[in-house]
Structure 1
């Protein structure tokens, strides 16, 4: 299907690579105009080089900063008009010892994985509420429900993001604005590759064996779900957390 995001203006945070880049490409294919903010300037400019300049804009920025978000939002609106969709995709992993982690390290994790989603939503919601139309998709994780030892406090941050999704959906639902979460499982991204590189070689085999489908996701498979939630086809879907994990969460361990 093509064209189901025709006429929409969608912001994607952290959209320069991985799941974010896949969402950008899928949304463009569906007819949207896309604005991307990412702290990785090199990756953002590289992505921009291969896309249509009249429907895509990239700007470097730090989503932990309300000032950066505000400046980016102004730029995005100046280019493509009011924002109709927001994908809070930017995130970071955390591998911390709960007894040794510092307050600063804790705050850095939550600033990216949770606070930034609220800051970005706060920027785009006034126009969505005024138009009585809009969709926010928060990219959470299966870690919101189940996690691994050594991932502290990533699961707490992603659980918070799912909670924010539900709470915000109730607040803006009367204005016909929808808020949903997508919780990917193992996906072929840089962050997953980075993690597996620190593990014994047999770890990847164990991961694949744990999946009922015998494989992990491609970023495009997460993007397909996000595109649906951004579209009018999901017009009565809000406050939900969509797990895209290949059935991983449906099985017992062992």
Structure 2
């Protein structure tokens, strides 16, 4: 523990499991008060209890990042419960997609972009005014290696995550005069429930992934959490508009 997030209030979406849970635990370890938001009540309660047992200052709420009213209410409630405005937002909530571009319905398209892109904007819109007023804040958007390269059978996931990286750059420029930083992190293959879903959907995906990773292994949620908490901290005070890969070198491999 370095205490690099002491005095910060870190809100993590999709915090009930996987990468979101790991980020919440690491942020608390680094001294932050932590707010958790998810649509999975049972798993959210388990993660909240886990954090409380560490002695961390924590609040949690069940909420939908795709719903404008829900976002507004839950952000206000979490900030009120913790007694301070949100100073760090981690947009981690997301969903995979396995559609055929010629068969996908508009409703299915919207469901992907609502979670993976619109939700991040709604959350940012809710937390940015206090950050701008205070002249201090950070947003970290969890994008994906799919924002740079992708694989067949996962339409339109790459489009949504590419949009999230583009939004990161735009927001970074807009809020930089207020000393608010916005960055993205692009995980590769990370051992989560969503990765297991991918491996179960795409034939031979697990074996293929292990063969092509330069580091020869799948990453862990904790690997991502370390980078996210660095970018959220004052240690990264001169980093904004960036997209950091946490992919074991996969994104630089030619073939």
Residues 186-201 of structure 1 mapped to structure 2, 5 A cutoff: 186-200=189-203
- Partner-residue secondary structure (3-state), 1:92: coil
- How many pairs were matched up? 252
Matched residues in 1 for 2:145 and 2:94: separation? 14
Q: What is the alpha-carbon root mean square deviation over aligned residues?
A: 1.0
The answer on 1:153 being equivalent to 2:156 is: yes
- 1:251 matches 2:231: no
CA contact (8 A) 2:72 2:126 kept: yes
Q: Which position in structure 2 is the counterpart of 1:4?
A: 4
Residue 139 (structure 2) pairs with residue 136 (structure 1): yes
**What residue ranges of structure 2 are gaps of 5+ in the alignment?**
none
What TM-score, normalized by structure 1, do the two folds share? 0.97
Partner residue, 2:185: 182
* Residue equivalent to 1:167: 170
Give CA deviations for 1:70-113 in whole Å, capped at 9, x if unaligned.
11111111122111000000000000000000111111100000
Q: Which residue of 1 aligns with 2:38?
A: 38
Q: Does 1:226 align with 2:228?
A: yes
Unaligned runs of 5+ in 1: none
Q: Please give the secondary structure, in 2, of the residue aligned with 1:197.
A: helix
- Structure 1 residue 54: Cα displacement: 5.9
Structure 1: 4+ residue segments shifted above 6 A: none
Please state whether the residue corresponding to 1:237 is helix, strand or coil: coil
What residue number does 2:102 align with?
99
1:84 and 2:87 aligned: yes
